[in-house]
């Protein structure tokens, strides 16, 4: 039997599908679409691709029929929200038989019932609320950003007044944060300075091993004891011994561990060290 799908009065091309000739359509998918169209003359079938067809009733989308790969072979499929909600894997119904596909269409395609419509309306309302909430969050940030920036700039320009205000309002927590902020900023500055010294090779790498100091400055490696370690290094290593591992000391360097020290060198003194 010849299934001339495009000659049926309730079959049309989809607006985004271009021109698809019948000889390009998958035979089993085409037959399924033809059966749906002839058995339901008040429905409209839109050709979306050579293997996929949209079924509508009075502009309401009822679902899709066609064929697709399922597992290792081509299968007919019937897909809409009702079928998806009733299946464990939330997918389409697949079969080799046109008759079974038609039964699934008959059972599940049709205008939504009132309860189903209300579920869709509730979903749409929730999507609207979520979208508006997201937009308003962005709008809120756009307003809060300049205000927060201005407040911070004002506080920095009038730090003594701000500090006094915190004291007057007994805001001990924020005062503590303010103190820690200053300490952290100083630590960051020291880290940057030590890192820059290492990048510029203006540092000494000192390793304490068996009571001796192995000192590397650029490509020069020397071994020293407590008595002959250059004073410029001895003083700074001594200070680094007083802090904890991984601590930075401004204008001094970094104690990597109890045996490894990075010592910042003054530009004018670095070349004078042996």
Q: Using CB atoms within 10 Å of the CB of residue 214, give its burial: 0 to 12 exposed, 13 to 18 middle, 19+ buried.
A: middle
Cα angle 229, 233, 237 (rounded to 5 degrees) comes to 105
Residue reference for tokens 């591992």: 245
pLDDT for 272 equals 47
- Tell me the sheet residues that pair with 76: 67, 95
Residues 132-146, mean pLDDT to the nearest whole number: 88
Percentage of the chain modeled with pLDDT above 90? 45
Percentage of the chain modeled with pLDDT above 70? 95
Using pLDDT thresholds of 50, 70 and 90, give the confidence band for residue 273.
low
pLDDT for 86 equals 67
Q: Which pTM was predicted?
A: 0.47
Determine how β-strand 52-57 pairs with β-strand 44-49.
antiparallel
pLDDT for 100 equals 95
Using pLDDT thresholds of 50, 70 and 90, give the confidence band for residue 239.
very high
- Tell me the sheet residues that pair with 79: 64
Determine how β-strand 11-13 pairs with β-strand 44-49.
parallel
What stretch of H or E contains 28? helix 27-39
For 166-202, give the DSSP string: HHHTT-HHHHHHHHHHHHHHHHHHHHHHHHHHHHTT-
Cα angle 49, 53, 54 (rounded to 5 degrees) comes to 125
Using pLDDT thresholds of 50, 70 and 90, give the confidence band for residue 267.
low
How far apart are the C-alpha atoms of 249 and 240, rounded to whole Å? Answer: 7
Residue reference for tokens 């200053």: 182
Contact assessment for residue 203 and residue 269, using Cβ atoms and an 8 Å cutoff = no
Contact assessment for residue 76 and residue 65, using Cβ atoms and an 8 Å cutoff = yes
pLDDT for 59 equals 86
Q: Is the confidence at residue 102, as pLDDT, over 60?
A: yes
pLDDT for 114 equals 78
Residues 168-178, mean pLDDT to the nearest whole number: 88
Q: What is the pLDDT of residues 56-91, one digit of tens each?
A: 998 889 999 999 999 899 999 999 988 877 665 667
Residues 145-169, mean pLDDT to the nearest whole number: 88
How far apart are the C-alpha atoms of 102 and 12, rounded to whole Å? Answer: 20
Residues 2-18, mean pLDDT to the nearest whole number: 88
pLDDT for 2 equals 75
Contact assessment for residue 110 and residue 62, using Cβ atoms and an 8 Å cutoff = yes
């Amino acid at each position: 039997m010849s299934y001339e799908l495009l000659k049926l009065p309730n079959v049309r091309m989809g607006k985004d599908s271009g021109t698809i000739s019948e000889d390009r359509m998958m035979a089993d998918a085409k037959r399924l679409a033809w059966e749906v169209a002839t058995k339901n003359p008040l429905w409209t079938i839109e050709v979306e691709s050579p293997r996929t067809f949209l079924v509508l009733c009075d502009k309401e989308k009822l679902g899709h029929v066609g064929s697709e790969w399922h597992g290792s072979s081509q299968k007919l499929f019937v897909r809409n929200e009702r079928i998806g909600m009733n299946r464990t894997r939330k997918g389409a119904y697949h079969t080799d038989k046109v008759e079974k596909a038609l039964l699934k269409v008959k059972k599940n395609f049709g205008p939504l019932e009132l309860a189903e419509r209300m579920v869709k309306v509730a979903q749409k309302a929730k999507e609207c609320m979520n979208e508006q909430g997201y937009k308003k969050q962005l709008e809120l940030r756009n307003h809060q950003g300049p205000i927060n920036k201005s407040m911070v700039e004002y506080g920095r320009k009038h730090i003594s007044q701000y500090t006094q205000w915190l004291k007057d309002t007994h805001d001990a927590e924020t005062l503590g944060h303010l103190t820690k902020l200053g300490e952290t900023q100083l630590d960051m500055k020291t880290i940057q300075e030590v890192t820059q010294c290492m990048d510029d090779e203006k540092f000494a790498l000192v390793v304490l091993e068996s009571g001796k100091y192995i000192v590397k400055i650029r490509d020069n490696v020397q071994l020293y004891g407590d008595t002959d370690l250059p004073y410029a290094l001895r003083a700074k290593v001594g200070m680094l011994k007083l802090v904890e591992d991984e601590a930075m000391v401004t204008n001094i360097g970094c104690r990597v561990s109890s045996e490894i020290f990075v010592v910042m060198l003054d530009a004018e003194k670095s070349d004078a060290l042996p």
